[in-house]
Amino acid sequence: MKPLASFALVLASLPLQAADLAEHTFSTYVNAKGEIRLPADARKSWSHLGSWVVADPKSPGYGFHDVYTQAETVEAYRKTGEFPDGAVLIKEIRAVEQGPQTTGQAQWAGDANVWFVMVKDRQGRFEGNPHWAEGWGWALYEAKNPAVNVSKGFAETCRGCHVPAQQSDWVFSQGYPTLARP
């Protein structure tokens, strides 16, 4: 392998800096029309921010909620207390499984049902697009077809649940201990 090609491979494997996050996000997960793609296998390679359990089976949010983001987002948030441009948050809601275990009756996360994706947009890139509002891009994917955003837009699909988090940049960050400085 040529030295320049080898150097390029090393650079490609290095973690992004927070300053490069927006360029990477908007070229990898968002197309020119503002359509958001569900990042693949975030559970394996992204930072786990925290978990929620909505225990009421009658609630539309029933299930185990795990939230993930890029390591660069965690680094930037810990420094500034704000989500950087290009931050991606993925909330995966999984079914509730339960049964007896050696430690007693237990509950655990089952199969994924839906994924909510938020993409921080500090530049207002997609004005007029119903999926982009309040400084974020908003998307919803169902397990039956995770390639299709089934959200009807921020106002209809996302706003109602996120109003209580409006003062914290529309994010329920109190449930994300990874964002706290160590």
Say what the pLDDT of residue 44 is.
93
107, 109, 137, 163 from 37: Cα distances, Å? 31, 24, 11, 24
Contact 112, 93 (CB under 8 A): yes
How many structural domains compose the chain? 1
pTM of the model: 0.86
Predicted pLDDT at 16: 59
- Confidence category of residue 182, pLDDT binned at 50, 70, 90: confident
Could you tell me how many residues make up the chain? 182
State how far the Cα of 39 lies from the Cα of 29, in Å rounded to an integer.
7
Question: C-alpha 141: how far from its chain's center?
Answer: 12
Ramachandran sector of residue 52 (left: φ over 0; alpha: ψ -120 to 50; beta: rest): beta
How far is residue 178's CA from residue 47's CA, in Å, rounded to a whole number?
8
pLDDT in tens, 23-72: 999 999 999 999 999 999 899 999 999 999 998 999 888 999 999 999 99
What's the token pair of residue 7?
């150097």
Give me the CATH number covering residue 173: 3.50.70.20
The percent of residues in the chain predicted with pLDDT above 70, rounded, is 90
Query: The domain containing residue 61 runs over which residues?
Result: 3-179
Distance between CA atoms of residues 178 and 173, nearest Å: 10
What element of type H or E holds 134? Answer: none
How many angstroms separate the CA atoms of 40 and 63, rounded? Answer: 21
Given a cut of 60, is residue 9 above it in pLDDT?
no
Q: Which residues contact 59 (CB under 8 A, 6 or more apart)?
A: none
